[in-house]
Amino acid sequence: MSYVNKVILIGRLGADPEMRYTADGTPVATFRIATTETRKNKEGGKVDHTEWHSIVAWRKLGEISGEYLKKGKLVYIEGKIQSREYEGRDGTKRKAYEIVASEMRMLGGGGAGSSDERRPSGPATHPDDEFVHESADDDDVPL
């Protein structure tokens, strides 16, 4: 039996990505994106619910994320959910859930409140163009 662990998100960055490098020099970018859905309450009014997602991008995808993503940017993320345990400042063990990105697409729109919401139209060669597509490892992508 096969199992599936796949996440697809479209949201806005809450802050610029944080770039780090492991001891062996592997680049890793971490950032958070917000997804918002509108629901109706009992009175029929609209209520927004925002969910924050922690994203981790490794290697080439991490470098690209760190260089081109900025706070407020609309982004498509594809990846998998991964958990990790850590010790909090108070000494208690905690568990964090993150999305490990395997694919990222920068979508139109410069930031929150931007009227520049454009639809992606195809691959571009520069991050200021409408659409940029990068995968974590292009060698693993079937043709």
Say which CATH number the domain at 118 has: 2.40.50.140
DSSP letter for each residue of 28-91: EEEEEEEEEEEEE-TTS-EEEEEEEEEEEEEHHHHHHHHHH--TT-EEEEEEEEEEEEEE-TTS
SS3 state at 140: helix
Alpha-carbon distance of 74 to 120, in angstroms, equals: 11
**pLDDT per position as a tens digit, 3-47:** 999 999 999 999 999 999 999 999 999 999 999 999 998 898 999
Token reading at 78 = 């594809």
Considering the domain boundaries, does residue 1 fall inside one?
no
The number of beta carbons lying within 10 Å of the beta carbon of residue 74 is 21
Is 82 within a domain? Answer: yes
Contact partners, residue 45, CB within 8 Å, separation at least 6:
none
pLDDT tens-digit series, residues 54-97: 999 999 999 999 999 999 999 999 999 999 999 989 999 999 99
Higher pLDDT, 131 or 10: 10
The answer to whether position 31 is within a domain reads: yes
What local confidence, expressed as pLDDT, does residue 109 receive? 58
pTM score of the predicted model: 0.71
Look at 114 and 80; give whichever has higher pLDDT: 80
What range defines the domain where residue 111 resides? 7-39+50-140
